[in-house]
């Protein structure tokens, strides 16, 4: 029986409102994956801008006009990176026209949906931000380039704020918002917790990996503590969302100190510590799981809770499957 060792490095600094001066070192060569991600994110930011422009024309809701301007800034930041590396720009100028056929189809679908009612338009806006956050998380997980990391993190911070703005508008109309693309607890965390982070990690267990039920997995997490938190007391926690192969069953699980996995209701107020309170060092290792795993899709998150109640959650879920 083969053994899979997954050591996951998670960096958990707090998000700052200030953006570091961007310096692009073109001597650092981009991989094909990084080039593809830049091209995709350039058009995805245009998708957001164009959807909001189109829906503002229909409904005249200020949030669409305001955020469309921010999305133009996001497009410009990606364009700066592409120009720095001499990459061709996939963007076509007309609103609603895209080079990537998947993005084109998504734009058409979203605008059609958003034209049905004001509340649907706002839900479309929130969905766009959820999709953007997920794709930026993936792009961050696949690069070590400092310039790309700065821009992607800045864009993700913006998407957090945009999602909050759309949800405020939805709730002002008496509707309740539920996650559409991210996991429910991810959206809950973004909307309700003042502490957010640009956590970033690399793993030998990568997003999209497919394991066998015969594999013995040894999964551990090593994270770098935010500098200001070193020496503070914190509880560590582990969250797993499991979905069956046929998607008919799903569970939200948390691990307790004894290593038992228990059902979790998605509220951070009710989460159990996976490790007793400890004094945070610069680097911490947390054993997650060892043994065979049942078939299904797994989405793993880790984090820590400080004694004052603040929660730091990794910004990128480990998403893998077992068949």
- Please give the DSSP secondary-structure letter assigned to residue 276: E
Using the CB atoms, write b or e for 51-68: b if 16+ within 10 Å: bbbbbbeebebebbeebb
Q: Tell me the helices (H) and strands (E) count for the chain, helix number first.
A: 6, 12
Rounded CA separation 19/46 (Å):
21
Residue 78's pLDDT is 95
Q: Name all domains of the chain by residue range, CATH numbers in brackets.
A: 31-173 (1.20.1260.10), 204-322 (2.60.40)
Q: Which helix (H) or strand (E) holds 46?
A: helix 32-59
Which of 95, 118, 117 is CA-nearest to residue 107? 95
Listed in sequence order, the residues at least 6 apart from 257 whose beta carbon sits closer than 8 Å to its beta carbon are 272, 273, 274, 275, 276
As beta bridge partners, residue 159 has none
Residues in the chain: 323
Q: Is the torsion defined by CA of 49, 51, 56, 61 positive or negative?
A: negative
In the block, tokens 């034209």 appear at 115
Residue 211's pLDDT is 83
Residue 247's pLDDT is 84
pLDDT in single tens digits along all 323 residues of the chain: 333 333 333 333 333 333 334 677 778 899 999 999 999 999 999 999 999 999 999 999 999 999 999 999 999 999 999 999 999 999 999 999 999 999 999 999 999 999 999 999 999 999 999 999 999 988 988 888 989 988 998 898 899 999 999 999 999 999 999 999 998 988 988 888 654 454 444 444 656 678 888 888 778 777 778 788 889 999 998 889 899 988 888 899 999 998 899 999 888 888 899 988 999 888 777 788 888 889 998 888 888 888 988 888 776 677 888 88
Task: Kindly report, residue by residue over 228-242, the tens digit of the pLDDT.
Answer: 888 999 999 888 989
Nearest 10 degrees: Cα torsion 196, 202, 207, 211: -130
User: Is this structure's pTM higher than 0.75?
Assistant: yes
């Amino acid at each position: 029986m083969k053994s899979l060792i997954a050591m996951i490095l998670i960096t958990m600094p707090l998000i700052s409102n200030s953006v570091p001066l961007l310096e692009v070192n073109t001597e650092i060569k981009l991989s094909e994956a990084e080039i593809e991600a830049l091209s995709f994110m350039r058009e995805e930011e245009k998708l957001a801008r164009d959807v909001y422009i189109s829906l503002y024309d229909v409904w005249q809701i200020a949030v669409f006009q305001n955020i469309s301007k921010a999305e133009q800034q996001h497009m410009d930041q990606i364009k700066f990176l592409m120009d720095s590396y001499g990459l061709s720009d996939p963007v076509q100028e007309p609103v609603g026209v895209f080079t990537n056929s998947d993005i084109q189809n998504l734009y058409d679908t979203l605008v059609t949906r958003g034209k049905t009612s004001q509340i649907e338009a706002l839900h479309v806006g929130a969905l766009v931000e959820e999709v953007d956050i997920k794709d930026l998380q993936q792009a961050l997980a696949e690069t070590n380039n400092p310039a790309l990391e700065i821009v992607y993190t800045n864009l993700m911070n913006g998407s957090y704020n945009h999602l909050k703005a759309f949800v405020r508008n939805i709730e002002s109309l008496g509707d309740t918002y539920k996650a559409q693309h991210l996991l429910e607890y991810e959206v809950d965390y973004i909307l309700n917790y003042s502490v957010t982070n640009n956590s970033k990690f690399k793993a030998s267990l990568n997003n999209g990996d497919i394991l066998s039920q015969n594999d013995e997995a040894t999964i551990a997490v090593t994270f770098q503590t935010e500098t200001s938190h070193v020496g503070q007391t914190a509880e560590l926690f582990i969250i797993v969302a499991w979905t069956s192969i046929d998607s008919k069953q799903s569970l939200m699980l948390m691990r307790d100190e004894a290593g038992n996995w228990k059902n979790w209701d998605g509220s951070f107020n009710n989460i159990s510590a996976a490790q007793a309170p400890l004094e945070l060092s610069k680097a911490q290792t947390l054993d997650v799981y060892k043994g065979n795993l049942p078939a299904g899709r797994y989405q793993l998150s880790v984090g820590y809770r400080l004694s004052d109640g603040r929660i730091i959650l990794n910004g990128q879920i480990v998403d893998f499957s077992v068949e």
